[in-house]
Structure 1
Amino acid sequence: MTGCASPDATTAPEGDETAGTEEPAAPAAEEEPPAPAGGETGAEPPEATAEVHEASRRAPVENVYAGAMGSEVREDLRGIPERVYVPNVVDGTVSVIDPKTFEIVDSYAVGELPYHVTPSWDMTELYVNNEASGTFTVIDPKTGRPKETIEAPFPYNFYYTPDGETAVVVAERIQTLEFRDADTWEILGSVYVPWPGVDHIDFAADGSYLLASSEWSGVVSKVDVEGMKLVDHAEVGGLPIDIKLSPDGSVFYVANQGTMGLSVIDPETMEEVEFIPTGQGAHGLQISRDTKSLYVSNRLDGTITVLDLATREIVDTWTTGGTPDMFQLSPDGRQLWVSGRFDGAVYVVDTETGELLSTIYTGAEPHGIAYFPNPGRFSLGHNGVYR
């Protein structure tokens, strides 16, 4: 079972409506494919030692997103055309939008069930997660076009550890987090998650552990990244989906489509310390450019909740209509781009006024859109999570 819950259900998976009745076979073993980019940025990644991790845990975290708060992209990315890449899950295509004109400027076939478009850690390439094909389609952002294909088992989602050394393939269909060397693509290990539906993750400020949502089980797992082992879990019920670390690194926010709001999790005790109702079908999360707000898509309500992160109070609700799903911000933070999963559209919202600026019709079931390039030192993956 893959993907996220259908718009009119809160308990059944949507896999049947997109993947057909037969599970595709795992990719056949072949020669090692080329490795995704992730290590050639000219800067040495931080050492991932136990001592460094322990020092990071003791030190106060001011803002984990500080490196992505400006409006300018990295100097080496400034010649890349701004584009919004939209994976159309059912069509097996990617639509490419020019954000200046709101027009589709390109479209091409990729693999089967492309759920997300993921920027590499060093932001030199984009990876389309073709879940049913067991492949990534690699896009060169300089041209906006595909250039090669890489094999991996059932890649529903794709992430990088904060140090950029390890790629994490989220294989929801086989309940596995697969850890690979980001440079060589060698398999380093894997973690089997005993609760079905693992699909979204985020990392602690120091990268020593991650939290993973298991959508169909109402569980959030804690995984030791260095040891590659499951160490704890929290039962939140419902359908936990997208997950984001708070700017101060103290808690994780989990969108819960089944309980219609946000579960706030203390990662030390692995307990839900607060629940914040937002709307029917709470699904996707995005931190604002100034890191003062958290945007929550309520897919069954057709709305976006704006949460003040300092007070954890809801300060506004914006209406998109349709089925708002996954988010991306424009580099200046003034536009929120939202995939409309079950009405084949992308919505563009003004973050100052909440006004719906445009509805752009793409293909069948657009999901994990990527607005690229974007500010940040590096990408943690998913459809563009920057620090």
Structure 2
Amino acid sequence: MKKSFGSFLIALIFFTGCEMKPAQVKPPLEGQGEVFLYLEPFPQEAERLKFTLGGINALAADGTETPLALSFEEFRLEDLKRQRLIASGRLPQGSYAGLSFAVKRALLKGEEGEGDLIVPKQSTKISFPFTVPREKAVVISMTFKYSESVKEGTSFFPSFSLLIPGKPLVTLKAFASNRDSNTVTVFDKRSGRVASVIETGNGPGGIVLDQRARRAYVALSEDDSIEVIDVERGDTINRMRLNAGDRPPELALTPDGSALISVNSGSDSVSIINPFTLIEMKRLTVGHRPVSILLDRTGRKAYVFNSFSNTVSVIDVPNRAVSATLATEVGPLRGQFNRKGDRLYVFFERSPYLIVYDPVTFSVIKRIFVGSGLSVLKVDTQNDMLYVGRKYDGMIEVYDPFSLMPMETFSVSGGVDYMTIDNEGNNLCVVIPDKKRLAIVELVSKKTIAEMDVGDYPYWTAVMGER
């Protein structure tokens, strides 16, 4: 009896470690909105300047000031060579007259070293009328004006030009879900700049795009819901409520856009949904704790990875039925197909091996030692190269599709949790949760060409024109 209880306890500890990180539930906005201040890259002429802010406040039309949370306090060129999120916060809905900036200290480097500049004793106010809608987000883009800020090399009065960014072309839009912020960040995949933020329900996770209908579907794991976003408008247009306790982490959409499939991790099920009416057409029981889903190239078969039962459920999508349940190694997390669709690559939470399966017979073709801690796999269907990343370091390995041996490595600024490929730019879009950012990596040179600050615990990214 003691031995059985001990075995049960070990298994419980083991499986508890496999659970998805719970979202830190953010209180609902309830009549408020949010503002996000993004600073454009510092001008080169500011290389000798360094200043520290004590705070940034939003100025309401009636004179009321509301402090924003600073992401940056010290401003210097070496940290501001790209667009950065410098402050954000909730605001009551309504009209605002501008922003105020409190300066703690400013230093200017000269021939004899750094010297203090005279700074204003009162906050500097910058007029910029804007409106915060109810339960919506506003992004304000800021450009630092060096020549107007540094007066005669002796004093410093911060000056910024402010504007609401324009919308990117629909074909250039990309999205990042932020689980702990309850937001989706919209960015321009070509320029690598944030354009807007969409407020969502609790725990946004996987995103799928209907490229033709120009809709984005977002899984809300903490709300047991799916949110629908109009890609062109950049706004939520509908929401579907699933069953209580479903906790959907990810979604899949058939290539013809006729079926949306929700992985319901909390209820060991999948829902096959009409994406236009948002009516559940069928609910199927799968294995224990399904965490992800993969469609084959035709969209006729879906593979559901059940991490706690060590199985993959194969769904016959047209007939809305489970056609097979396949045994795997411990803790299957995700899979990817090669270009022809005759190889299925699967990695596991507790195994150092990436396993190649025949998707028809589900026989093992090859076991590839990749080491522990694998968190993401992406197959480039243009050349079948495999990109492998880990959550605990920023190293991405590239595997040859023929020898299945690592060819080269490159790094990003932090641990990797998800990747996708932009077909138009031939770029790899990388989610880096611990840094609260996304990176865009050029696949030819393997160089990071852009980084974007997003929200808390970014989980997923999806781009128009995804490969």
Scaled by the length of structure 1, the TM-score of the pair is 0.71
Cα deviation for residue 115 of structure 1 reads 0.5
Contact 2:181/2:455, CA 8 A, preserved across alignment:
yes
Matching residue within 197, 203, 220 for 1:113: 203
Q: 1:14-44: per-residue Cα shift (whole Å, max 9, x none)?
A: 4464267xxxxxxxxxxxxxxxxxxxxxxxx
Q: 1:65-91: per-residue Cα shift (whole Å, max 9, x none)?
A: xxxxxxxxxxxxx95251221111011
Matching residue's letter, 2:394: G
Matches within 5 A, 1:102-251: 102-120=192-210, 122-153=212-243, 154-196=247-289, 198-251=290-343
* Map of 1:74 onto structure 2: none
Distance in 2 (CA, whole Å) between partners of 1:98 and 1:218 is 39
* Map of 1:329 onto structure 2: 421
Distance in 2 (CA, whole Å) between partners of 1:277 and 1:214 is 22
Cα deviation for residue 216 of structure 1 reads 3.4
Distance in 1 (CA, whole Å) between partners of 2:184 and 2:204 is 8
* Map of 1:12 onto structure 2: 17
Name structure 1 gaps, 5 residues minimum.
1-8, 21-77, 376-385
Distance in 1 (CA, whole Å) between partners of 2:209 and 2:220 is 14
Distance in 1 (CA, whole Å) between partners of 2:353 and 2:24 is 28
Q: 1:108 to 1:249 in 2, by over 3 A?
A: closer
Q: 1:233-253: per-residue Cα shift (whole Å, max 9, x none)?
A: 333324322222221121211
Q: What's the secondary structure of 1:312's corresponding residue?
A: coil
Matching residue within 75, 78, 96 for 2:186: 96
* Map of 1:285 onto structure 2: 377
Name the % identity. Answer: 20
Matching residue's letter, 2:331: L
Question: Is 1:87 matched with 2:174?
Answer: no
Matches within 5 A, 1:330-349: 330-349=422-441
* Map of 1:23 onto structure 2: none
Q: What's the secondary structure of 1:342's corresponding residue?
A: helix
Question: Is 1:356 matched with 2:448?
Answer: yes
Name structure 2 gaps, 5 residues minimum.
1-13, 26-167
Distance in 2 (CA, whole Å) between partners of 1:174 and 1:341 is 26
Q: What's the secondary structure of 1:107's corresponding residue?
A: strand
Cα deviation for residue 123 of structure 1 reads 4.3
* Map of 2:32 onto structure 1: none
Cα deviation for residue 118 of structure 1 reads 1.5
* Map of 1:49 onto structure 2: none
Question: Is 1:374 matched with 2:379?
Answer: no
Structure with greater contact order relative to length (CA < 8 Å, sep ≥ 6): 1
User: Max radius of gyration: which structure?
Assistant: 2
Distance in 2 (CA, whole Å) between partners of 1:86 and 1:204 is 24
Distance in 1 (CA, whole Å) between partners of 2:227 and 2:330 is 33
Q: What's the secondary structure of 1:200's corresponding residue?
A: strand
Cα deviation for residue 10 of structure 1 reads 8.9
* Map of 2:110 onto structure 1: none
Matching residue within 296, 315, 338 for 2:407: 315
Q: 1:261 to 1:325 in 2, by over 3 A?
A: farther
Contact 2:339/2:382, CA 8 A, preserved across alignment:
no
Matches within 5 A, 1:295-306: 295-306=387-398
Contact 1:139/1:145, CA 8 A, preserved across alignment:
yes
Equivalent residue pairs, number:
309
* Map of 1:51 onto structure 2: none
Q: 1:248 to 1:323 in 2, by over 3 A?
A: same
Distance in 2 (CA, whole Å) between partners of 1:364 and 1:354 is 26
Cα deviation for residue 369 of structure 1 reads 0.7
Scaled by the length of structure 2, the TM-score of the pair is 0.60
Q: What's the secondary structure of 1:174's corresponding residue?
A: coil
Name the structure with the higher strand share: 2
Distance in 2 (CA, whole Å) between partners of 1:325 and 1:121 is 24
Matching residue's letter, 1:12: G
Cα deviation for residue 161 of structure 1 reads 2.9
Cα deviation for residue 333 of structure 1 reads 4.4
